[in-house]
Structure 1
């Protein structure tokens, strides 16, 4: 066959190996990407918080991996009066960073005078078609990569005048946290 046939065979085998390597790399990169499988409470609540009220929701990490340097941001989108436009507000949180993810964390936005929720009722929030947009970033210790998680609560998913039940019990050897109670709430009178 000769020299030209050897060149074609060499190029063909090189392209075959490169194509296989490229496909393997793309599949591995796509399916091996770690993600934070954070579980969010089904509803958020407006509950008493110190002498005021607060917007609250709970999260839990159902996996055995450790999440470090967890950072949370909550934005509020509300429709303007007599308009289709929406205003976006960055909500100030009681605590927006933790060194490592506890088993269960209740995230709180205090509804102080500087809050865009101050003075609004549940009907006002529904009329404004409010949506609370949550984004989280953390370092996954098991994969040594940064992972992200996103969720949101619409106005209809917020329960007013309820608070999350305390899910921690103290025992002789320490404390137990019942993460299955992430969604449990009880009635609570809101502060005026």
Structure 2
């Protein structure tokens, strides 16, 4: 049975979109995408629930397990824990056919379940994650005699990203001649879209000249426009030799006209060594 699912995008002023789903949840993707604390919580809950279930099944026949110090439910629960985790201290043991069948089933579930969770943990660890940050705002200022849109990107890790490529797209709501409201994507030209090595920061330029979708817009018209700028970057992490990527969305209110970015570099007066302060990547000033 199909159903409808609502989610919120971070573009076009936090639009809420309703889409149709087939009623099934992608459990694997959800577990891989969740935080580590969430993953550990899911593992703990599943582990405890399975042991609680089998503890109840053992408890139904109090004579099924030998070597117990009492007939309390906790004894059967912790016997289930030892069986599921294949610990087997030897003090408690099944002594009926009913218990043997339950132990067999639980041992199979334990081997499969623990192997599955271990595989998912390995899959989570093997996913390359970038530490690329974007400036929270983009600025529009004069550059080589024409208005230019700029934003900054930096690598937070103490390594290099080889062959980094950046793209900038404009997502804008438009109305066709037939009165149909659509969202159209424009690819914006950049002064430089590729750098052989990203180790510090990168100031990305889009000249607002004739042919640009932003050409002719003013600060007021941009504030009133319904669009979003989507910046994406990808490259090869030299440490793990895998492709990493990141993206950021700028709403129309995130564009600062007649501003420029503050300098992030400082130089030691004695040694002449330059350093960069990544905490200032978002800092701007008026021109």
TM-score range, shorter chain: 0.7 to 0.9
| DSSP-derived class of the 2:158 partner | coil
Number of residue-to-residue matches in the alignment: 184
Alignment counterpart, residue 155 of structure 2, candidates 58, 61, 75 = 61
Q: Which has the higher contact order (CA 8 A, sep 6+)?
A: 1
Gaps of 5+ in 2: 1-102
| DSSP-derived class of the 1:21 partner | helix
Structure 2 vs 1, CA of residues 11 and 145 (structure 1 numbering), >3 Å: closer, same or farther? farther
1:139 is matched with: 236
User: Is 1:175 aligned to residue 274 of structure 2?
Assistant: yes
| DSSP-derived class of the 1:47 partner | strand
What per-residue deviation string (whole Å, max 9, x for no partner) do you get for residues 49-78 of structure 1?
Answer: 111011111112122232111111110011
Alignment counterpart, residue 196 of structure 2, candidates 65, 90, 99 = 99
Matches within 5 A, 1:125-164: 125-164=222-261
Matches within 5 A, 1:1-192: 17=111, 19-81=113-175, 84-171=181-268, 172-188=271-287
| DSSP-derived class of the 2:181 partner | coil
Relative to total residues, which structure has the larger helix share, 1 or 2?
2
For residues 234 and 188 of structure 2, the distance between their equivalents in structure 1, rounded to whole angstroms, comes to 16
Which of structures 1 and 2 has the bigger CA Rg? 2
For residues 62 and 102 of structure 1, the distance between their equivalents in structure 2, rounded to whole angstroms, comes to 9
For residues 27 and 140 of structure 1, the distance between their equivalents in structure 2, rounded to whole angstroms, comes to 22
Return structure 1 stretches of 4+ with deviation > 6 angstroms.
Answer: 9-15
Deviation at 1:11, TM superposition (A): 10
Relative to total residues, which structure has the larger strand share, 1 or 2?
1
What per-residue deviation string (whole Å, max 9, x for no partner) do you get for residues 143-178 of structure 1?
Answer: 221111011100011111101122234444342323
Q: TM-score, normalised by structure 2?
A: 0.57
Gaps of 5+ in 1: 1-8
